[in-house]
Amino acid sequence: MRIKEVVTGIMAAAFLFVIIVTIIFGSTGWTPSTEIRPLAKFYLENCFNVFNRTWWTASPEAVTSMLWDYRGIDTYYETSVFFLAVISGVALFRIAEIKLGTKKKELGLSIIVKTVTRLIFPLIIIVSISVAFHGNLTPGGGFQAGAIFAVAPLLLIAAFSRHYLEENIKLTKDKCLTLRTIGLTAITLIIALPVLAGALTLMQNQAKPWSPFFSFPEVVGPVWTSGTLFFLNVAEFLAVGAGFTLLFLLLSIPEEEFKRVFGL
Amino acid sequence: MMSLFTASLIIFALTLGAVFAYFAIKSRDLVKAAVFSAGQSAAFALAFFMLMAPDIVLAYVAVAIGIYTVVLLYVINKTERFEEAEE
């Protein structure tokens, strides 16, 4: 047993050493790369090219430009996959009403955990909102912001209980479904809008050579919205954040409740 | 060739991740294993950041450290906490 562990340790150390040597001497292809490949060069040069707007997306964030403009349909399908996952979750957990099994005050963890959670909860929400609203200017975007947002109700469920989330924060299953539907409807509308306005492709943000007719305004009032990117990020934030919260609300239904409802 | 500082930070992050992964596999206490797995994710998040992928870091931190760990804890809650000892 001891010899086995020693051998495992030596093997792991040798493996790490090999990886370290390969990374330092660039055998994995210079990470981070010192040269830019032609495809990356195209995106970096064109996504915020103010002087030549033929291919631009009005966003300095190349990743967001790709996600919602150049390869927008991909992201749309990802969103629909997530939509289907959440809908099947809701269909599986069809329980009308959850009754409190134990007394409310006994639920949750110690007072230290509860206090820290109370302090952290608004901070997480503010970070997620800022990631969503700056998604077209800085790293981040709708999915990231939604995933960060979902951590906040998850913490509350773990530290307090799901009843605290439903009764004190008023974030119930039905409200999450409504928020999600609002987000998805907004995405669908934004996708369909350019076609109604005369563009040739769905999900057109800025006019491209193959469809030169319709561009969204890149600035609305004092806000640089990068055409549709800002609104798509916010809508995706709503859809993903509420979707994850909905899943956690369903997951945290006590097992006794299932047994009671289905008579097991 | 990248700067020595970047290289050493990436190497530190990857080594830390490997150590955490080892403990996550060896641990008999599944709750501890889930926490070690979260530590490994934190180390990998640092590596992603050093490899200039801040968009990935934002999604990875939220999903792999927050959501994934808590979902694992839910699953452990439904079964037994301790693995049986090896023969």
What count of other Cβ atoms lies within 10 Å of the Cβ of residue A67? 24
Tell whether A31 lies on the interface with B, counting CB pairs under 8 A.
yes
Model confidence pTM above 0.90: no
Closest residue to A24, CB basis, from B7, B22, B55:
B7
> Residue B29 falls within a domain, yes or no?
yes
> Residue B66 falls within a domain, yes or no?
yes
Expressed as residue numbers, the domain containing B9 is: 4-78
> Residue B8 falls within a domain, yes or no?
yes
ipTM of the complex: 0.83
Closest residue to B18, CB basis, from A16, A140, A251:
A16
Asked if the Cβ–Cβ distance from A158 to B70 is below 8 Å, we say yes
pLDDT-derived band at B71, boundaries 50, 70, 90: confident
**CB-CB neighbors (< 8 A) of A141 in chain B:** 55
- Alpha-carbon distances, residue A242 vs A170, A203, A231, B2, B14 (angstroms): 13, 23, 17, 41, 34
Tell whether A229 lies on the interface with B, counting CB pairs under 8 A.
no
> Residue B31 falls within a domain, yes or no?
yes
Is 90 exceeded by the pLDDT of residue A157? no
Is 60 exceeded by the pLDDT of residue A185? yes
pLDDT of A183 reads 92
Asked if the Cβ–Cβ distance from A34 to B2 is below 8 Å, we say yes
pLDDT of A233 reads 92
For residues B29-42, average pLDDT: 93
Number of domains in chain B: 1
Tell whether A143 lies on the interface with B, counting CB pairs under 8 A.
yes
b/e per residue B7-30 (b: at least 16 CB within 10 A):
beebbebbbbbbbbbeebeebeeb
> Residue B47 falls within a domain, yes or no?
yes
Smallest Cα distance from B66 to chain A, Å: 6
How far apart CA B45 and CA B55 sit, in angstroms, is: 11
Residues 6+ apart with CB under 8 A from A181: none
Helix (H, G, I), strand (E, B) or coil at A197: coil
With a CB-CB cutoff of 8 Å, which residues 35-74 of chain A face chain B?
A: 63
> Residue B63 falls within a domain, yes or no?
yes
> Residue B25 falls within a domain, yes or no?
yes
Tell whether A109 lies on the interface with B, counting CB pairs under 8 A.
no
Backbone angles phi, psi at A156, to 5 degrees: -65, -40
What count of other Cβ atoms lies within 10 Å of the Cβ of residue A61? 24
For residues A37-41, average pLDDT: 86
